[in-house]
């Protein structure tokens, strides 16, 4: 019976645009990443070091570093070395930017946010 209830919840929570579902499951896999994605969506031409991005986000540098690296790996962000200093910015790929925009706009809906939170928590387990 419990399994059935879990299945029902999962089905309900999966009920969203498949591209956004993949985006949350594969790319925005933590709340810090969510914050970072939102920050870069709102400030799309930001280009800076981990230390400064952490300051802007009001987070710990070490925590932000690993999250940024994963966002780079998944193609949401880009990293370039400027004189050995890693500098991060939002991916310039238009398709990725559109997906980020779609995600942020979808987050304005409370139901979508609840579903996104559910998937992130499940992923963190």
With CB under 8 A as the contact rule, the residue among 52, 61, 65, 74 that binds another protein is 52
49/21 Cα distance (integer angstroms): 29
Q: How far is the CB of 56 from another protein (least distance, A)?
A: 7
Cβ-proximal residues to 56 (8 Å cutoff; 6+ apart), any chain:
39, 43, 46, 48
Q: Count CB atoms within 10 A of the CB of residue 19.
A: 12
Instruction: Choose between 49 and 74: whose C-beta lies nearer to another protein.
Output: 49
47 contacts another protein (rule: CB under 8 A): yes
With CB under 8 A as the contact rule, the residue among 35, 48, 69, 78 that binds another protein is 48
With CB under 8 A as the contact rule, the residue among 31, 56, 112, 118 that binds another protein is 56
Measured at the alpha carbon of residue 120, what is the angle toward residues 117 and 125, in degrees to the nearest 5?
A: 125
105/29 Cα distance (integer angstroms): 18
* Phi and psi at residue 112, to the nearest 5°: -65, -45
With CB under 8 A as the contact rule, the residue among 19, 22, 44, 114 that binds another protein is 44
Binding string, residues 85-104; x marks residues near another protein by CB under 8 A: x-x-----------------
Q: How far is the CB of 23 from another protein (least distance, A)?
A: 22
């Amino acid at each position: 019976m419990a399994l059935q209830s879990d299945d029902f919840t999962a089905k309900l929570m999966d009920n969203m645009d498949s591209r956004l579902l993949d985006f949350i499951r594969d790319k925005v896999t933590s709340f810090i990443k969510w914050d970072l994605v939102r920050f870069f969506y709102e400030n799309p031409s930001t280009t800076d070091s981990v230390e400064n991005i952490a300051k802007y986000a009001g987070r710990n540098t070490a925590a932000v570093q690993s999250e940024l690296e994963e966002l780079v790996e998944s193609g949401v962000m880009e990293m370039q070395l400027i004189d050995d200093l890693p500098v991060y910015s939002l991916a310039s790929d238009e398709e990725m930017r559109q997906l980020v925009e779609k995600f942020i706009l979808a987050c304005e809906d409370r139901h979508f946010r609840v579903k996104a939170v559910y998937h992130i928590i499940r992923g963190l387990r």
